[in-house]
């Protein structure tokens, strides 16, 4: 058996603590699998006094994680601090500079600075692994970089944020409003006090930008991801979706086309027949379509101490086994720049809900706008009638260009008989 792999852990929050307990609990198992011991030798966190359920006595303590990676006698640092700038970034940069391997769970950092860090890691000859940054415990980075390395892949999509998927599932199953589910999720620790990174789709966009780079061999282009969150989804829309045969999911989807790279994160309607439509609660799933392998799907928990630690440790074991793959599957110099396709050129069907005054001619006015914008309506539903209150009209369209849809909604929103801004949810065909 070779020398032990000496590991430092930067950050002892949920993920850091989970990683320490995994490496401790499965020390022997991992040694058998890795062919050598994996030893934690140093740790760093904000507070050395906090009770984390295990003793830190066996490890060298550092108040400053950057000093730790520079001074401690280590082979690898697990950066589990989080955040796209600041300490997390400094830890990774310092570690690479002094020739230490880096394993990180940090999607924000990788989405913003992954190319630059990967480039430095390559120059030095160390690994920069981030399995835990995308879809938690699902080994999707490994599947894309290695398991599907024989395929040209034209599309990858998935449910990449467990918090949003949990909220949408609860809304549908228990008919609880977005606000109420979010409050409950915050109480249970499934959602942050400031939930915006999750519910506005930013977290999923970070992950999607990484997935796209891995899949297409493109430079990470987080700025090119069109991002919409789930705040405006109502139980009403979820119910109508059900009636039309759909589930509402926050999907991250990337596609390589002749015209450029499409990267989108938005809530959308997905046919209930599709396996991904039935991935509920805090689960994540990723679908990859390769030209030889056809469709493959990967499903599991997207977050939490256990699943994330599982991914962090898999990355560590790869290093212990002496295995290194370029961060994005090919050397950074080989990553290509591809133009992003703006959302205005998105092409697809839509669901639209309008609140209107129930008066003669209203449907004629609305449908006239659709006709003039050359968008054809697939189905329309108006059930409730009321002399006094606004009633909903719900319709689905055939595929059209987003720019035309936006013009249409603007014009319809301006009609006197339409009393609220229209709600639009895209329908994804996923074939």
Q: Which residues are catalytic?
A: 207
Window of 18-26, 235-243, 388-396, 404-412 that interacts with a copy of itself by CB under 8 A: 18-26
Q: Please name the residue that has the structure tokens 């090119």.
A: 224
The whole-angstrom separation of Cα 308 and Cα 136 is 5
Q: Which of 252, 274, 279 minimizes the C-alpha distance to 264?
A: 252
Q: Which of 65, 114, 217, 252 binds a copy of itself (CB under 8 A)?
A: 217
Residue 309 near a copy of itself by CB under 8 A: yes
Residue 249 near a copy of itself by CB under 8 A: no
Residue 160 near a copy of itself by CB under 8 A: no
Q: Which of 20, 95, 313, 354 binds a copy of itself (CB under 8 A)?
A: 313
Minimum distance of a copy of itself from residue 120's CB (angstroms): 18
Q: Which of 16, 65, 114, 137 binds a copy of itself (CB under 8 A)?
A: 137
Residue 22 near a copy of itself by CB under 8 A: yes
The partner residues of 268 in beta bridges, in order of sequence, read 249, 426
Residue 367 near a copy of itself by CB under 8 A: no
Residue ranges in 319-338 that form contacts with a copy of itself under rule CB under 8 A:
321-323, 325-326, 329-331, 334
8 A C-beta contact, residue 230 and residue 267: yes
CA angle 20, 25, 31 (to 5 degrees): 95
Q: Which of 127, 169, 227, 310 binds a copy of itself (CB under 8 A)?
A: 310
Q: How far is CA 360 from CA 150, 353, 399, 417, in A?
A: 60, 19, 28, 10
Window of 194-202, 234-242, 273-281, 374-382 that interacts with a copy of itself by CB under 8 A: 273-281
Residue 431 near a copy of itself by CB under 8 A: no
The whole-angstrom separation of Cα 251 and Cα 232 is 15
Structural tokens at position 410: 């603007």
**Comparison of 82 and 137: residue with beta carbon closer to a copy of itself:** 137
Binding mask 35-74 toward a copy of itself (x if CB under 8 A, else -) reads: x---------------------------------------
Count residues near a copy of itself (CB under 8 A): 59
Q: Which of 7, 6, 8, 3 minimizes the C-alpha distance to 36?
A: 3
**Comparison of 44 and 129: residue with beta carbon closer to a copy of itself:** 129
Edge-to-edge strand list for the sheet holding 101-104: 60-62, 38-44, 5-10, 76-79, 101-104, 128-129
Structural tokens at position 188: 């249970």
Q: What's the number of CA atoms in the CB half-sphere (13 Å) around residue 316?
A: 32
**Comparison of 156 and 366: residue with beta carbon closer to a copy of itself:** 156
Window of 55-63, 110-118, 148-156, 160-168 that interacts with a copy of itself by CB under 8 A: 148-156
The whole-angstrom separation of Cα 148 and Cα 146 is 6
Question: If DSSP codes are grouped into helix, strand and coil, which group holds residue 307?
Answer: helix
Window of 69-77, 247-255, 298-306, 380-388 that interacts with a copy of itself by CB under 8 A: 298-306
Q: Which of 85, 76, 80 minimizes the C-alpha distance to 126?
A: 76
Residue 122 near a copy of itself by CB under 8 A: no
Structural tokens at position 52: 């984390």
8 A C-beta contact, residue 60 and residue 43: yes
The whole-angstrom separation of Cα 315 and Cα 208 is 20
Residue 232 near a copy of itself by CB under 8 A: no
**Comparison of 287 and 354: residue with beta carbon closer to a copy of itself:** 287
Q: Which of 178, 307, 422, 428 binds a copy of itself (CB under 8 A)?
A: 307
The whole-angstrom separation of Cα 116 and Cα 113 is 5
**Comparison of 43 and 276: residue with beta carbon closer to a copy of itself:** 276
Q: Please name the residue that has the structure tokens 């703006």.
A: 342
The whole-angstrom separation of Cα 228 and Cα 130 is 25
The whole-angstrom separation of Cα 124 and Cα 353 is 55
Window of 44-52, 168-176, 291-299, 353-361 that interacts with a copy of itself by CB under 8 A: 291-299
Residue 212 near a copy of itself by CB under 8 A: no
Minimum distance of a copy of itself from residue 426's CB (angstroms): 24
Structural tokens at position 50: 């906090």
Q: Which of 3, 29, 360, 383 binds a copy of itself (CB under 8 A)?
A: 29
**Comparison of 117 and 317: residue with beta carbon closer to a copy of itself:** 317
The DSSP output letter for 345 is G
Residue 16 near a copy of itself by CB under 8 A: no
Q: Kindly list the residues in this chain that would bind a copy of itself in the complex (CB under 8 A).
A: 18, 22-23, 26, 29-30, 32-35, 131, 137-139, 142-143, 146-152, 217, 275, 278-279, 290-301, 304, 306-307, 309-314, 317-318, 321-323, 325-326, 329-331, 334
């Amino acid at each position: 058996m070779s020398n032990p792999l000496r590991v430092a852990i930067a950050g002892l929050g949920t993920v850091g603590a989970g990683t320490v307990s995994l490496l401790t609990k499965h020390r022997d198992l991992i040694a058998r699998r890795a062919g050598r011991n994996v030893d934690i030798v140093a740790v760093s966190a904000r507070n050395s006094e906090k009770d984390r359920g295990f003793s830190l006595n066996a490890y060298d303590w550092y108040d400053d994680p950057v000093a730790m990676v520079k001074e401690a006698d280590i082979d690898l640092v697990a950066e589990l601090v989080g955040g796209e700038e600041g300490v997390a970034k400094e830890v990774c940069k310092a570690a690479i500079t002094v020739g230490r391997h880096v394993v990180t769970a940090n999607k924000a950092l990788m989405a913003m600075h992954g190319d630059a860090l990967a480039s430095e890691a390559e120059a030095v000859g160390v690994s920069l692994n981030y399995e835990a940054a995308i879809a938690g415990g699902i080994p999707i980075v490994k599947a894309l970089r290695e398991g599907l390395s024989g395929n040209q892949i034209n599309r990858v999509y998935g449910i990449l944020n467990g918090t949003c998927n949990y909220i949408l599932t609860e809304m549908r199953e228990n008919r609880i409003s977005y606000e109420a589910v979010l409050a409950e999720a915050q109480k249970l620790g499934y959602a942050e006090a400031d939930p915006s990174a999750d519910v506005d789709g930013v977290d999923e966009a970070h992950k999607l930008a990484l997935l796209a780079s891995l899949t297409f061999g493109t430079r990470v282009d987080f700025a090119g991801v069109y991002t919409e969150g789930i705040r405006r989804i109502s139980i009403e829309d979820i119910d109508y979706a059900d009636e039309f045969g759909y589930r509402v999911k926050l999907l991250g989807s990337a596609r390589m086309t002749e015209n450029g790279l499409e990267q989108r994160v938005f809530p959308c309607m997905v046919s209930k027949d599709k396996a991904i439509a039935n991935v509920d609660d805090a689960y994540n799933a990723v679908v990859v379509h390769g030209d030889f392998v056809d469709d493959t799907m990967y499903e599991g928990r997207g977050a939490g101490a256990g699943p994330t630690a599982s991914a962090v440790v898999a990355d560590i074991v790869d290093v212990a086994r002496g295995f290194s793959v370029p961060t994005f599957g090919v050397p950074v110099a080989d990553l290509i720049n591809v133009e992003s396709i703006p959302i205005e050129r998105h092409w697809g069907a839509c669901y639209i809900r309008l609140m209107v005054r129930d008066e003669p001619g209203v449907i004629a006015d609305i449908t006239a706008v659709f006709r003039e914008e050359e968008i054809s309506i697939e189905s329309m539903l108006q059930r409730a009638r009321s002399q006094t209150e606004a009633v909903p009209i719900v319709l689905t369209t055939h595929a059209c260009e987003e720019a035309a849809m936006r013009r249409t909604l603007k014009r319809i929103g301006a009609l006197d008989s339409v009393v609220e801004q229209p709600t639009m949810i895209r329908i994804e065909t996923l074939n």
